[in-house]
Structure 1
């Protein structure tokens, strides 16, 4: 099947009046914006940016929820020759002080010429920009009101996206994505998924995260398919609305991390699905974090009586420095699990690892040792990526805490994994592990086992490292419940041998996370080692 390459703004020339984006409203309905209407708004936004003095190469920050205004802000910046940069709105953070500290660093890095926001973000962002000495943010609707559209787009900027990393291993870093890299990644994803305009998509993922922005929204728009859009907090309140949209609208493509599948399993009962059908779902991309095979099996068991195909579950792997997608399971192949060769490599044998598919077109993935030598199948090492859609570099000080780097030999991801028969199996972050009796054990593997034994995701994080010269494993709880300590002790004691075991008991919501919800392990570990949790830390016991 031939899937054509498409330019980032090509859709403006042939924007459909019959297809477009449907936004969930508060009345169980959907507000429709045709691609023709969106194209007109994009060119009005571009005209407003140029009139405001935005010049080619300037950065335009977008602090907006998923909305027609966000689409117009993103593509309008490109049409004005500027570089869009999506920054998390306040709803993505639980505490105001955490938000302003996080966003302040992003604005310092991005140094935007202009900031577009929505009404609910204005006051919070105004404080941040004032502290940075930047111009006041402007509300999108007022910014474009009455503006004449740009007659035609200006040439694309060299850097088409300033994308921030999730910050799971430290502070978020700004990654420069070229126009060609973004185009290559979108094309690679469409060809992997055999994605055509007639297949509707659906997403509730935040548009400040690369999976929601590139994997869903930009692909919907550039492909020209119908897109059914929900807000992240809307999905959390009513996951059934997301499932009903798939059934009622014939949605064929969507994406989400593992935790969202687990959330659906907790919130949705078989009886809730009566009368729904999921035969239309061709591709449900699963990525952004470690994938639990039991969650995949249970999710399929829940939806299979209603026509959901097991082969529609497509594990994938990627990251901001690769624009987004690196590997993905081909349609109809069916996901599998694998284990590394422990006898020869000392790999993590704690749990079976879900395969994350094969390299997309134009990309090469290899596993290397600490000495940089390529390793054979089933040997654990660092994942290194080469080929198209690799980022041009970082903005400002790239730092080194995350372990990810862009080098001559390619993108050194800082992730541990292994290859088997051409498929990539991802274990976890290098540096988030501990060698026990000659074998590496990774924090994400232990967390997977804890989730399988009843501790929900986002309520526990496992930290591994050497503290004061002593190998240490810590279970960090967000509002610990009866029985959780015993479960954590059983798992950590089995896999960590003689390591010191600690329990850090924080209030609910106290586990520091990225804007996409992943635990910021290295930040938490640094706080633990510095004594920041002294009054909340005690030995982890079976009691």
Structure 2
């Protein structure tokens, strides 16, 4: 069954059960809806959209973390309209990104609320003026009529070549690519995730992830609906300002599932007073998945040890690997089993954590990215993926689609999704080591940026954790290492030369490298994606000329 059929079924089975609850800054419930209510509201939203937009129109959804988002996202799918979740930003670069997404997908309309609409144009700049004068239909959620006759459901699930929504990649490129996710892709990946997790209708999940990002959308919002469970939503901004609220919410509602990038765990460790941990119970948390970039073992170990006082079990940690081009998940550690670490003999010998076996019905091959030959177990190469969750391709970008989604090995096997990520298989488990496009190559030796960034983050107490970008720059002597690091707010008065000296010393000891340049910047100035990933290529564009 697709997501709409699952909603219909669950509304009949559990009409009075809470489908979603939204948490406010004091831990109060600001919005909630039952399955019966959600079912009726989605059908009504679909009816309104179907009256206003023809089938297959692309509609940008520009809404904060509120119930209206899921109502209109599923309503668009109900109406046979292609939903385009989009991050809200009121900065000039953020509005420019919105404009590029609108242009790329040829959007017919924008779904938002009047408060967001007003804030988009508060700062008069070139981007906001361009958006204001754009010839596009604005659909305001305040005009939602729950009594609207329901949309006539379009036959989308059986058409493998029809996108249900576009997931725009949150990388650092100036030309965003819309990943086309079909109903079949979504159903296959949701089945794979929840069969691995063992999540059922009896379970409660908590999410703080951006709802327009693949992890926040697919697992954060759609998994609870798919399983018939209850989803509890905390906005990303609220989590950043009050991380303890996440633990309180898990404890209060006895949630079994949560997850996000590793920096979320680090944020909890850095911002939550130890005495507060004794007031919460995390013993019900069966799965705490950690994904995005390669997972730091030190983060997992420190979090597990610190949270023992709450009843949290280390075996609940799930190292995860996935990407938008595969809908979401590719491989997941089996929760309830010990994490697996393995040493690799690279430039900087270290341990990496297994992101588990590939999810059900998934084939993973490790391939030499240049020769396209399949590598043996234990050898590092590019990760290629084949399963029913692999997306249809990039919206109206045949060249990029062919290069990424239609790869064949030298032996003619395929088509595979080329992930652009590096890793190896060992005993049926996938280990992630880096990205092909972000490798730093100095004097013919490969260095993974995240390895260097981890050392920099630990080099001096003034350096903000998980806020360093390492990349190579061209010099007269060839490729050289450049580092850009955020300073902690309390460290603004530090002797910056002393900080740089300590960073340079640490890099020299760890890698035998001499940093060409070390740039220290204020907090919040390092470019990151909506999911918290460091945008190394963007950082290079911004700082390499300094």
User: Which TM-score applies when normalising by structure 2?
Assistant: 0.88
Q: Does 1:393 align with 2:390?
A: no
- Alignment-derived partner of residue 418 in structure 1: 424
In structure 2, the CA distance between the partners of 1:431 and 1:499, relative to structure 1 (3 Å rule), is farther
In structure 2, the CA distance between the partners of 1:146 and 1:229, relative to structure 1 (3 Å rule), is closer
Shift >6 Å, 4+ stretches: none
SS at match of 1:413: strand
CA distance in 1, matches of 2:98, 2:308: 42
**CA shift digits 1:444-468 (9 cap, x unpaired):** 1111223344433353211135445
Which residue of the other structure, out of 261, 265, 269, is the alignment partner of 2:265?
261
Which residue of the other structure, out of 107, 119, 126, is the alignment partner of 2:102?
107
In structure 2, the CA distance between the partners of 1:130 and 1:261, relative to structure 1 (3 Å rule), is closer
Query: Could you tell me whether the CA contact under 8 Å between 1:170 and 1:520 is conserved in 2?
Result: no
Query: Could you tell me whether the CA contact under 8 Å between 2:285 and 2:316 is conserved in 1?
Result: yes
Give the C-alpha shift of residue 87 in structure 1. Answer: 0.1
CA distance in 1, matches of 2:406, 2:533: 26
CA distance in 2, matches of 1:348, 1:219: 40
**CA shift digits 1:126-156 (9 cap, x unpaired):** 74774684314222122x2365131653323
SS at match of 2:379: coil
- Alignment-derived partner of residue 85 in structure 2: 86
In structure 2, the CA distance between the partners of 1:259 and 1:428, relative to structure 1 (3 Å rule), is same
Give the C-alpha shift of residue 175 in structure 1. Answer: 0.8
**CA shift digits 1:288-320 (9 cap, x unpaired):** 122111111111112112211111000110101
Count residues in correspondence. Answer: 515
Query: Could you tell me whether the CA contact under 8 Å between 2:163 and 2:183 is conserved in 1?
Result: yes
**CA shift digits 1:363-407 (9 cap, x unpaired):** 11121113111112222211111122111111234787x998222
- Alignment-derived partner of residue 541 in structure 1: none
- Alignment-derived partner of residue 163 in structure 1: 167
**CA shift digits 1:487-524 (9 cap, x unpaired):** 32123223554555211233432222222222221232
Which residue of the other structure, out of 279, 284, 287, is the alignment partner of 1:283?
287
SS at match of 2:405: strand
Which residue of the other structure, out of 189, 210, 218, is the alignment partner of 1:185?
189
Query: Could you tell me whether the CA contact under 8 Å between 1:312 and 1:331 is conserved in 2?
Result: yes
CA distance in 2, matches of 1:356, 1:230: 26
Q: Does 1:9 align with 2:5?
A: yes
- Alignment-derived partner of residue 540 in structure 1: none
Give the C-alpha shift of residue 238 in structure 1. Answer: 1.1
CA distance in 2, matches of 1:471, 1:151: 58
- Alignment-derived partner of residue 141 in structure 1: 142
Runs of at least 5 residues in structure 1 that lack an aligned partner in the other structure = 534-543
- Alignment-derived partner of residue 310 in structure 1: 314
SS at match of 1:487: helix
SS at match of 1:159: coil
SS at match of 2:375: coil
- Alignment-derived partner of residue 539 in structure 1: none
Greater mean alpha carbon deviation, residues 382-391 or residues 169-178: 169-178
- Superposition map of 1:431-446 within 5 A: 431-435=437-441, 439-446=445-452
Give the C-alpha shift of residue 469 in structure 1. Answer: 5.3
- Alignment-derived partner of residue 125 in structure 2: none
Greater mean alpha carbon deviation, residues 234-243 or residues 520-529: 520-529
Give the C-alpha shift of residue 413 in structure 1. Answer: 1.1
CA distance in 2, matches of 1:471, 1:130: 40
SS at match of 1:84: strand
- Superposition map of 1:263-412 within 5 A: 263-340=267-344, 342=345, 347-369=346-368, 370-397=370-397, 405-409=404-408, 410-412=416-418
Query: Could you tell me whether the CA contact under 8 Å between 2:2 and 2:184 is conserved in 1?
Result: no
SS at match of 1:12: helix
- Alignment-derived partner of residue 17 in structure 2: 18
User: Which TM-score applies when normalising by structure 1?
Assistant: 0.89
Greater mean alpha carbon deviation, residues 276-285 or residues 12-21: 12-21
Query: Could you tell me whether the CA contact under 8 Å between 2:278 and 2:309 is conserved in 1?
Result: no
Runs of at least 5 residues in structure 2 that lack an aligned partner in the other structure = 122-127, 409-415
CA distance in 2, matches of 1:146, 1:178: 27
- Alignment-derived partner of residue 411 in structure 2: none
SS at match of 2:465: coil
In structure 2, the CA distance between the partners of 1:491 and 1:170, relative to structure 1 (3 Å rule), is farther
Greater mean alpha carbon deviation, residues 180-189 or residues 426-435: 426-435
Greater mean alpha carbon deviation, residues 121-130 or residues 506-515: 121-130
- Alignment-derived partner of residue 203 in structure 1: 207
Which residue of the other structure, out of 534, 538, 541, is the alignment partner of 1:519?
534
CA distance in 2, matches of 1:132, 1:190: 44
SS at match of 2:155: coil
CA distance in 2, matches of 1:491, 1:367: 32
- Alignment-derived partner of residue 33 in structure 1: 33
